[in-house]
Amino acid sequence: MSYNKKDLKALKKKLKKENPSALGIKKKVAIKNVKRTAADFEPQKKIVQWNYGINDLVTYKFSDNIGIIVADKQFFGKRIEKNYFYVLLGNAVMKIDGQHIRKL
């Protein structure tokens, strides 16, 4: 048996007056909150390693200067994540990407 809108509305009002919890029957879903901390999750890093070592003679790609690799990961407390090297070119130490230098 189908009801029209007015009859359904009146029936719902009547149910609310007689038994207010009759229409409010809903399943309660337990929501579990999981908090992740930095210790739980560490993103995977893709690092390309070049075959250059400390004290290797190299040439800088953009200016044909000859230099020597001073450090590869840390230099005076400054740390490097990517594939950079500290190279002594002329009278200055420069941080240069591994793809821009060539071994002699």
Per-residue confidence of the chain (104 residues) as pLDDT tens digits?
678 999 988 988 888 888 767 766 566 677 888 777 767 666 776 666 677 888 889 998 888 889 998 887 777 877 776 778 888 998 988 888 888 888 88
Please tell me the predicted confidence (pLDDT) of residue 48.
Answer: 65
Residues 6 or more apart whose Cβ sits within 8 Å of residue 99: 50, 83
Q: Are 70 and 93 in contact (CB under 8 A)?
A: yes
- Is residue 89 within 8 Å of residue 65, measured between CB atoms? yes
pTM for the predicted model, two decimal places = 0.49
**H or E element that contains 5:** helix 5-18
